[in-house]
Structure 1
Amino acid sequence: MNDWKNIEAADCAVPTDRPMDDLVRELSRALADPDPLIRDGAPYSVLATWIARGAIEPSLRLELGDEMAGRLTDARIEARTFAPLVLEMLVTAGDFKAGWVDAFERWYPAEQDLRGHDEKLGWLHAVAHGADLLAAFGRRPEVAPARMLDLAAARLTAPTHHIYDQLEDDRLARAIARVLTRTDLSARDAVGWLEPIADRFGADRISTPVPAHISNCLRTLRLLYILADRGVRPTSDLAAEPLPHRDAVKSGVATVLDRIVKR
């Protein structure tokens, strides 16, 4: 087994004493390890760097993506929720398979363990990690943007008793906004995904305390309104990108928020 901390410290130089496929398999196992110091430590950094640099050959990257897509059905929460992070690395680097989108679409709204952080397992972040992948898929020309917007709506309307507590609403709102920057997105599709949210929550009578799923949705949409108004930064060091249908999105979000809270 390699000492990934030393490899990370050496600017992630690729070891020459083992074939790359062995190294990738070891990194893949590490990113499903229940020990957060392993799963979210040097192996994560090394794999991300190797993918970004193109150090892993394309066929091996596609195999890794297939493995991550399959891992979305793993019995272990830490395995499921770190798989989207690896897929996001791959998709951002240019790798893509339609089957990865299908697997993600099945998992994201169905995931029930929405804990942001666990005392023993560390970061889990199903909603946030899934949001990052949703944004990556939503920016790919092979994926219809409306499909990812509908998926975001499915996640927001899925029943849960867990209140987002580690900025998951922020990550999901930003992911939605990133998809909404697609210039090929029609004005109708830019707001159409809000309809099932309005139908689902507009029919509910809000009790006290406010149910977790409604609170999550309200906070996500409120931030989305701000991002629609100001634009969304792809990364912290880049200028904000405008939403082509800015006014329509703002109006649509405001209408949904008003429908939810005015009863």
Structure 2
Amino acid sequence: MTARQADYWYVQLEDARLARALTRIPQAPDLGHEQATGWLAVVEAALYNGEGPGPTPVSAFNTFATLQSHHLHLIRGISDESVPPHAEAVAARVAGLLRLYRHWLA
């Protein structure tokens, strides 16, 4: 989702399917807090591309769409599954990333 060379905009619910997979990862046994949230550092680095204002790159659009969906999955859970451990911490970190370009979010 963060690949800079991406030229395909998520339009077939790819963000939701990817978010479902991302939500299941924290359900791994013995996953620590740092492991559950640490991967988001890679996402954050990808979003800081050093470019100024301008059109939203495809990779940023896809990343934000996936993060929004992931946040919803973390808060609501997945059908027939409980909310994963560390969901609150991961959701807070995801919300922080969403606020990078959506400063109006509470």
SS at 1:180 equivalent: helix
Mapped pair 1:248 → 2:89 = yes
Whole-Å Cα distance in 2 between the matches of residues 240 and 222 of structure 1?
20
Give the corresponding residue for 2:2: 157
Give the corresponding residue for 1:207: 54
Out of 29, 34, 54, which is 1:188 matched to? Answer: 34
Unaligned runs of 5+ in 2: none
Q: TM-score, normalised by structure 2?
A: 0.84
Give the corresponding residue for 2:12: 166
Aligned residues: 101
Whole-Å Cα distance in 2 between the matches of residues 225 and 262 of structure 1?
14
Contact 2:2-2:62 within 8 A present in 1 as well:
no
Whole-Å Cα distance in 2 between the matches of residues 207 and 181 of structure 1?
38
**Percent identity among equivalent residues?**
32
Give the corresponding residue for 2:66: 220
Flag as ranges the 4+ runs of structure 1 deviating above 6 A. Answer: none
Unaligned runs of 5+ in 1: 1-155, 234-238
Q: Which amino acid aligns with 1:243?
A: P
Whole-Å Cα distance in 1 between the matches of residues 65 and 38 of structure 2?
19
Could you say if the C-alpha distance between residues 247 and 262 of structure 1 is closer, same or farther in structure 2, counting changes exceeding 3 Å? same
Q: Which amino acid aligns with 1:211?
A: P
Contact 1:231-1:241 within 8 A present in 2 as well:
yes
Out of 84, 94, 99, which is 1:258 matched to? Answer: 99
- Superimposed CA distance per residue, residues 74-102 of structure 1 (whole angstroms, 9 cap, x where no aligned partner): xxxxxxxxxxxxxxxxxxxxxxxxxxxxx
Whole-Å Cα distance in 2 between the matches of residues 213 and 255 of structure 1?
18
- Superimposed CA distance per residue, residues 147-186 of structure 1 (whole angstroms, 9 cap, x where no aligned partner): xxxxxxxxx2212121012111111110110112223211
Give the corresponding residue for 1:113: none
| Higher relative contact order (Cα pairs below 8 Å, separated by 6+ residues) | 2
Contact 2:36-2:90 within 8 A present in 1 as well:
yes
SS at 1:221 equivalent: helix
Q: TM-score, normalised by structure 1?
A: 0.36
Whole-Å Cα distance in 2 between the matches of residues 195 and 169 of structure 1?
19
Give the corresponding residue for 1:8: none
1:46-195 alignment, distance < 5 Å: 156-159=1-4, 160-195=6-41
Give the corresponding residue for 1:69: none
Whole-Å Cα distance in 2 between the matches of residues 212 and 165 of structure 1?
12
Higher-Rg structure is: 1
Q: CA RMSD in A?
A: 1.8
Q: Which amino acid aligns with 1:184?
A: D
